[in-house]
Chain A
Amino acid sequence: MKKELNEVTKSLIATFLGLLAGALLMLSIGSNPIEGFTYLLKGGTMSIERIGNTLSTATTLILTGLSVAFAFRTGLFNIGVSGQMLIGGLCATIVGLTLDFPRPILLFIMLIVAIIGGAIWGIIPGLLKAKFNVHEVVATIMMNWIALWVVYYTVQAFLIDVQETQSADLPAVAQLKVPWITELFQGSSLNLGLVVALLAVIFIKIILDKTTLGFELKAVGFNRDAALCNGIKVSRNIILSMMIAGGLAGLAGLTFYTGFAENMQIGILPAQGFDGIAVALLGISTPYGVLIAAIFFGILHTGKGFMSAMTDIPPQIANTIIAIIIYFTATSLLIQRLWVKILRKKKSKKNAKGGVD
């Protein structure tokens, strides 16, 4: 008899419970859940274009999920992905709107500045944590708001073209959308960002599993005291981890603002930053897990419009399902306890048959 559920099973159970709760909600408003889920799935996958859109939504989520997951492996909770995304996106947008280089070079510079921008936004809370023991959750949330207003000011002051609430549209050469992908996926928003995201998954996988850096980061994440006692520089690892997490979030900003969209709206913290927490949790903080979870959320996000168009089910149900999945993954301990309880009950029933008590 197994006494502990493994992480993958816990994630699957959480997903199932989330879907189940969604089904109950659909039932409660008088809709047929099977029909609802069918349209939800179809909406995300039924045509090449929709698959493209699913992947395009997933692109940003892969990177935000990786960012949260990576920090989490070092025992840090990066709530600042939204802010890091904004700064990464802003840096890339500034480059895209001002520099005039051949396309490959331009895109490469945009990629680098996005990473640097995000990384800087991650280093600051990392430093505060390492040097002054300021909790990273507080610091990263603050940094989100600073990023929001930095973007607000910068866009209005320097990047406005026609509309006052958003930056000028990037020229086609400064966008991650390329014609052959757009054509291949029949006009979907899918773009080069997916390649960036997939490379990031592999890169992070290698760092975590194969390198001494990953070894250090994980040691710090699992047991900070033991790491310190054995000579690992914990402060340095905290800063490094936040820097890499910030860089990944910066990339997410790149794919969102220069790939999925073509300009930056002001006054909005991108929700993908927070969805990244859900992706990381559901993906049990592993690179491949994050990839799968992000695609799953991509389907839900892309399919919800189709579902509400074809049935009476409002699109908010899809969001609710996501929320409930987050809830259950976050409380995986609860699922664990429930499981142990179920086992115990089974056993005591067996014992009762034996005639004792």
Chain B
Amino acid sequence: MKDNFVVEMLNIRKEFPGVVANDNITIQLKQGEILALLGENGAGKSTLMSILFGLFHLDQGIIKVKGKEVKITDPNIANKLGIGMVHQHFQLVHNFTVTENIILGIEGSIVLKIKDASKIIKDLSLKYGLDINPNDKIEDISVGMQQRVEILKMLYRDADVLIFDEPTAVLTPQEIHELMKIMKNLTSEGKSIVLITHKLREIKEVADRCTVIRRGKVIGTVDVKDTSEAKMAEMMVGRVVTFKVDKQDAKPGKVILKIDKLSALNNQKTLGLKEFSLEVRAGEIVGLAGVDGNGQTELVEALTGLRKIESGKIFINGKNLTKSSIRERNETGIAHIPEDRHKHGLVLEFSLGDNMILKEYYHPPYSKYGFLQFDQIKKHADDVISQFDVRSGRGNASKAATLSGGNQQKAIVGREISSNPDLLIAVQPTRGLDVGAIEYIHKRLIEQRDSGKAVLLISLELDEILDLSDKIAVINHGELIDLVNANETNENEVGLMMAGIKRGEGQ
């Protein structure tokens, strides 16, 4: 059978000042298949898809849609050609209904034909098994459902080619499973899909072929069913990758962190954290699993002092810190690797050296009579840089903004661990990092545990939680669902708990 390509991107080249983001990349999408686009962060996947969607202009190369050469200079042209993109961050108006969101921008005539649109949406939803009620308001439906609305938006606009940009980052394992089914329904109805991801298991589960990109170049395109996950990982990273984190059994000691019936408001001024209790002992990693937005942020901010506590108490080593300032908490032994390293972790305009003393600049040896001691500051920065393998252009004098994401994160991890904290709160410590940096940071967290410190790990990546934790706490709607030993549970069970179903319920 002759291959029938719906989209071809041939010899694409795209340069940004100083970097070649796409170097002679060719990908071909067959009619009715799911093509995975696999690569580490910064490999050039998103650039390539942004070119296809008309957000960037290519420097060289040809794009063909259904065999015809086209020039896609803006997203409207992409839409007209039947190319639709489901973005990582949903673009929905929260107090509008599903229908209103879907017809937004293509209302057509002055008089809205909501009823007609609703009917079409209902039919589409049935056809592809999306299970969407067109009259629901976006704010009332789950994140997984919101994603389906994004998909419906594309279908309503008659898209034949759907691009999914890291679609599973915000979903529970069960929701991921549902999404995979939907993707298969879509292809069986003749749609073609490009799936951008760095999660190998999803590719294995759903994709037909996989194109691997590394540093802006195509490494190869493989048939997924004939290729092992390990092989694809190796192609992606360029070396053999170990998936399992090596670690001994935990030797838990005394209680370091005690959270007692903690409640805090969320940004909407309703209770985002409800009477949450948890203990973390010395020498163990407790992982907090949960779908994004279920109270993790509120918990972390209440612990670190960024958010007001409504009721409940926090103890570190038996000392009540409920009303303490952020600095007092730091000095008592809490270190915090924040979720958003640019917003909370670093002052990007500061040098690496200055960033390394961001918590400690005010006491000796870094300060004397209110004056900064630059020799000591540099020495400290150089220590962290060499111990944590932080790579930068000009060592401690490099501006933090000039470092790659992985090295920025290593710097933060280095700063926090080098302050020798009793409790390390690590929030999404490997978000957006490549496999090499992830391995490294995981190793460091385990080391921290083995040296007898307490670690509270908060992550949306269930794999990370399962790999690193000794105990797993699951949070849903701000409440602790359960606390289980990591070696007595599995992904499926934790996934159900993430959806709010307790052990033994509903099975």
Contact = CB atoms under 8 A, between A and B. Distances in A.
A229 B336 contact: yes
B124 interface: no
B361 to A, nearest CB: 5
Contacts of B306: 228-229
A215 B372 contact: yes
A203 interface: no
A1 B15 CA distance: 14
A1 B371 CA distance: 38
Interface in A211-266: 211-213, 215-216, 218-219, 222-223, 225-233
Interface in B356-415: 358-359, 361-362, 367, 370-372
B19 to A, nearest CB: 11
A273 B53 CA distance: 50
A353 interface: no
A211 B60 contact: no
Contacts of B345: 226, 229
Nearest to B366: A212
B325 A231 contact: yes
A343 B327 CA distance: 47
Contacts of B361: 212, 215-216
A200 to B, nearest CB: 19
A353 to B, nearest CB: 14
B58 to A, nearest CB: 10
Contacts of B346: 223, 226
Given A1-B17, A222-B348, A223-B348, A230 B358 contact: yes
Contacts of A212: 361-362, 367, 370-372
Nearest to B17: A3
Contacts of B326: 228-231
Contacts of A350: none
Contact of B347 (A210, A219, A231): A219
Contacts of A226: 343-347, 358
Contacts of A228: 306, 326
Given A219-B347, A223-B347, A229-B304, A211 B336 contact: no
B344 A229 contact: yes
B350 interface: yes
Contacts of A357: 60
Interface string B327-360: 1011000001010000111111110001000110
B18 interface: yes
A210 B327 contact: no
A215 B354 contact: yes
Contacts of A231: 325-327, 329-330, 359
Contacts of B348: 222-223
A63 B77 CA distance: 56
Contact of A225 (B60, B329, B344): B344
Residue in A212, A228, A233 whose Cβ sees the most chain B Cβ within 10 Å: A212
A222 B350 contact: yes
A356 interface: yes
A340 B16 CA distance: 11
A302 B266 CA distance: 58
B335 to A, nearest CB: 10
Interface in B308-337: 325-327, 329-330, 336
A211 B370 CA distance: 6
A230 B362 contact: no
B80 to A, nearest CB: 23
Interface residues of A, number: 26
Contacts, number: 71
B343 A222 contact: no
Q: Which applies to chain A's interface (DSSP): helix, strand, loop or mixed?
A: helix
Nearest to B59: A351
Interface string A37-61: 0000000000000000000000000
A222 to B, nearest CB: 5
B29 to A, nearest CB: 25
A219 B372 contact: no
Given A210-B372, A215-B361, A231-B359, A225 B343 contact: yes
Contacts of A232: 327
Given A215-B354, A356-B60, A222 B372 contact: no
A283 B472 CA distance: 55
Contacts of A225: 343-344
A199 B306 CA distance: 39
B417 to A, nearest CB: 15
A223 to B, nearest CB: 5
B347 A227 contact: yes
A222 B59 CA distance: 35
Given A222-B350, A223-B348, A356-B60, A230 B371 contact: no
Contacts of B60: 356-357
A211 B330 contact: no
Given A229-B304, A229-B338, A230-B359, A211 B344 contact: no
Contacts of A3: 17-18
A147 B135 CA distance: 58
Contacts of B330: 230-231
A182 to B, nearest CB: 38
Contacts of B18: 3
Nearest to B367: A212
B229 to A, nearest CB: 37
A167 to B, nearest CB: 39
Nearest to A219: B347
Interface string B164-192: 00000000000000000000000000000
Interface string A1-32: 10100000000000000000000000000000
Contacts of B343: 223, 225-226
Interface string B18-36: 1000000000000000000
B412 to A, nearest CB: 10
A130 to B, nearest CB: 15
A215 B372 CA distance: 8
A343 B16 CA distance: 12
Contacts of A230: 326, 330, 358-359
A351 B57 CA distance: 15
A215 B349 CA distance: 12
Residue in B344, B347, B354, B372 whose Cβ sees the most chain A Cβ within 10 Å: B347
24 contacts: A1-B17, A3-B17, A210-B371, A212-B362, A212-B367, A222-B347, A223-B346, A223-B349, A225-B343, A226-B345, A226-B346, A226-B358, A229-B304, A229-B306, A229-B326, A229-B338, A229-B344, A230-B330, A231-B326, A231-B329, A232-B327, A233-B327, A351-B59, A356-B60
Given A212-B372, A219-B350, 18 more contacts: A1-B17, A212-B370, A212-B371, A215-B354, A216-B362, A219-B358, A222-B349, A223-B343, A223-B346, A227-B358, A229-B326, A229-B336, A229-B345, A230-B330, A230-B359, A231-B330, A351-B59, A357-B60
Interface of B: 17-18, 59-60, 304, 306, 325-327, 329-330, 336, 338, 343-350, 354, 358-359, 361-362, 367, 370-372
8 nearest A-B pairs in the assembled complex, by CB-CB distance? A231-B327, A229-B344, A3-B17, A231-B326, A230-B358, A222-B349, A223-B347, A222-B347
